[in-house]
Amino acid sequence: MMKLVIFSSIFIIFVNSLYVPYAKKRIDQSVVTQALNALVPLDQRIDAKVTLNYQNMASGKDFSHDNSPYPLFTSIDASVMQGPTYKAINNLLQYYTKPDIDASETMTESWNSSISDFLDTIISTQVMQNAWQFLQQNSLSPTDKDAFKSQLYTLWFQLYARNTAIGSSGFESVFSGETNSTNDVVRFNNWIKFYTQEQSTNVNYHGWFTKANGIQITLQFAWNDYHAMKQSFLLNSSPEFEFSAYTICALSGGDCTMSINGQSIEIAASTLSKNGQTVIDECYALSGGGPAPATTKKPNKNDPELQTLVDQMWAADKDRPQTGDIKINWGNKVNGKTDVSPDPMFTHVNEDLYKKPVYADLITTYNQNLFTPQVCTAESPMSGFKKSYLQTVFNTFTSSPAFDLAFKYLQNKKYPNTSSLDAFKPFLWNLWFGTYSRCSGTMGSSGWEHVFSGEWKGDEIDGQHDWTRYYLLEKAGKINYYGYYSYDSQLIGTFQYTWEKYLKPKGGFFTATSPAFDFSILTVCALEHSGANACQFNLDNYPIYITSYTQKCDAGTCISTAYPSDEP
Ligand SMILES: *[C@@H]1O[C@H](CO)[C@@H](O)[C@H](O)[C@H]1NC(C)=O
Ligand SMILES: *[C@@H]1O[C@H](CO)[C@@H](O)[C@H](O)[C@H]1NC(C)=O
Ligand SMILES: *[C@@H]1O[C@H](CO)[C@@H](O)[C@H](O)[C@H]1NC(C)=O
């Protein structure tokens, strides 16, 4: 009896280790998120090589409504499909000719060897090497390469039956698409297949339901005679990235979150157990969670009118950069006081923006070098052409729709001198342009110079919270970006850089607002909610914390500093 028990338990251990050595298991979600986020910078995304045309939203009720006359993909640079993993996946896709889940399929030798080539190509990528390392560290995958390849083969390519016919596989479900007997697309979750089918006019895009531009889309389309009422996939990511991310998620619990370009992405990756083996059921990505950090930060809602004001100002700020006007490369996380980000922060700025008066008038003041950055050098008097350039931009800012809203808010709050804009402007002028000292009595500073232009104090940069100023100095080779502390999408960041020989150890600004918006909100915060992180609101769903202080000056009240941050 005893012998039998021992024998059978040895047998079970033996069977276990032989057939299911790396069963999936639930891993702490934050660890999985970290692992997935680590893959993102390794992905060779094709953002710059693709033009998408989202057009209208799809009809949730009626499939016969084609709300988008043009293809989703306007163009993709021809070089993309020449990449080794793209070649391998397109080669493999030609064997998936029976999307019907009830049609049985037979693996052929050439099909099988195309799978093998695909797996070899994917496994050799940096993305998959990194994913494999994570899987090994968590005992989810073997360390031997052939054994790992075999695990991926079973997980993704083993044909199985959803009903009776053996004709499904994880790869087919995710990367090729599956249909059912009522001619519905039941799974189809990859952009490459969509794109190639759209190119050969087998796919007709109907519109989108939700999307994170250039990152993810939930959409409707016809695929031959099949109806894809609502499917989701990632955009612009490489096949190795999707294959790796979905593998990690499928083996570690199935519900994952990651962040791509600041956008929170949720992955659903379910598995099935077929003949004692774990196989992929379906994997897709959603962007419903909104911007990545929004859920973790809670802004102070002590002034509901402030949030209303900010929402209205955001809507009214037509001068701010629109999608695609700016592109930021946040580079690497700050490490001490060294340059850990070789590239500039601004990858691209559509300088047509600078024709708008709020930028043009501001840039004129920069080009005229009206201020001496050294806080210990006295500023030239506020008169003559200096005063007239500054008055021009001051008038432009104060006649912007954003400022108009800010002024009405201050009127509502019964702030002194707000009986009319004309009555308020002299006070506001002094608030920003009144001079004071930051260096033993030398009148070398003003709120405007500090916030917009930036100053030098000791061997550091003081102030400088205007993205236009930063961009122009960076473009001129005078600013060297070191790395970020934190950021929210392309909206705002906290980072480190040098300007000539001066270091900004930690600073930041809005990157997706107009300077008139910044001027207006900083004014409101300085007058109504001054103090460290005392002015809090959500901007485009991100919590923002503005620190501002005023001080007594010859002119009355002057702004000492005012700047926004993505973190308290
Ligand atoms: C396909 O290849 C795998 C190994 O890569 C092998 O185990 C399997 O027997 C092959 N199947 C067919 C039908 O050739
Ligand atoms: C086919 O899939 C669609 C969409 O998922 C579903 O509504 C329909 O009931 C399915 N048909 C059958 C026969 O399962
Ligand atoms: C603003 O209001 C204050 C107090 O009501 C007043 O003393 C001051 O003269 C007004 N004007 C300016 C420009 O500050």
419 in a structural domain: yes
Judge if 364 and 453 occupy the same domain.
Answer: yes
**Domain match, 125 and 274 both:** yes
For residue 297, is it within any domain? no
76 lies in the same domain as 172: yes
**What is the token pair recorded at 476?**
């001129």
Helix (H), strand (E), coil (C) string for 203-243: EEEEEEEEEECCCEEEEEEEECCEEEEEEEEECCCCHHHHH
Q: Is 146's C-beta closer than 6 angstroms to any atom of ligand 1?
A: no
Q: Are residues 517 and 413 in the same domain?
A: yes
On whether the CB atoms of residues 399 and 467 are closer than 8 A, the answer is no
528, part of any domain: yes
Q: How far from chain centre, in Å, is Cα 483?
A: 16
Residue 446 lies in a domain: yes
Residues found in the chain:
568
H/E element holding 31? Answer: helix 29-39
Rounded to the nearest 10 degrees, the angle between the axes of helix 145-152 and helix 109-123 is 120
Ligand 2 within 6 A of 163 CB? no
**Residue 343 shares a structural domain with residue 454:** yes
Rounded CA separation 457/438 (Å): 9
Whether 513 maps to a domain, the answer reads yes
Distance CA 301, CA 423 (A): 30
Assess whether 212 and 135 both reside in one domain. Answer: yes
555 with 422, same domain: the answer is yes
Which ligand is located closest to the Cα atom of residue 185?
Answer: 2
Q: Does ligand 2 have an atom closer than 6 angstroms to the CB of 183?
A: no
Residues 75 and 166 in one domain: yes
Give the residue numbers spanning the domain of 425.
Answer: 304-565
pLDDT of residue 75: 96
**d(CA 184, ligand 2 centre) in Å:** 6
User: Is residue 94 one of the residues assigned to a domain?
Assistant: yes
Interatomic CA distance for residues 538 and 566, integer angstroms: 10
- Single residue among 254, 287, 320 that ends a domain in this structure: 287
- Indicate if 233 and 375 belong to the same structural domain: no
- For residue 116, give the ligand 1 atom closest to its CA: 5
Last residue of a domain, one of 237, 256, 287: 287
Name the DSSP letter for residue 291: B
Q: Does residue 459 have its Cβ closer than 6 Å to ligand 1?
A: no
Closest-approaching ligand to the CA atom of 426: 3
Mean pLDDT per block of 10 residues along the chain (568 residues) reads 42 39 67 93 95 91 91 96 98 97 96 98 97 94 96 97 95 98 96 98 94 94 96 98 97 90 90 92 80 32 83 95 93 92 96 97 97 92 95 98 98 94 97 88 90 94 97 98 92 96 96 97 94 88 89 88 92
Q: Residue 207: which of 45, 48, 61 has the closest Cα?
A: 61
Strand-pair category, 166-168 with 178-179:
unpaired
Six-digit token string for 428: 């506001």
Of 515, 415, 428, which is closest to residue 466 (Cα–Cα)? 515
3-state secondary structure at position 278:
strand
Could you give the CA distance from residue 485 to residue 112 in angstroms, rounded to a whole number?
47
Q: Is residue 295 part of a domain?
A: no
Angle separating helix axes 357-367 and 515-528, nearest 10 degrees: 80
Which residues surround ligand 3 with Cβ inside 6 Å?
A: 416-417, 426-427, 556
Collapsing DSSP to helix, strand or coil, 27 comes out as coil
Residue where one domain finishes, among candidates 245, 261, 287: 287
Does ligand 2 come within 6 angstroms of the Cβ of 47? no
- Whether residues 173 and 258 share a domain: the answer is yes
Is residue 2 a part of any domain in this protein? no
**Distance, CA of 441 to chain centre:** 45
Q: Are 264 and 374 in the same domain? A: no
Supply the pLDDT for residue 23.
57
* Number of domains present in the structure of the chain: 2
Q: Do 372 and 488 belong to one domain?
A: yes
Judge if the beta carbon of residue 144 lies within 6 A of ligand 2: no
Structure confidence at residue 265 (pLDDT)? 92
- Closest by CA position to 241, among listed 42, 536, 474, 74: 42
What is the per-residue pLDDT for 290? Answer: 41
Residue with structure tokens 């009903």?
A: 163
Is residue 180 within 6 Å of ligand 2 at its C-beta? yes
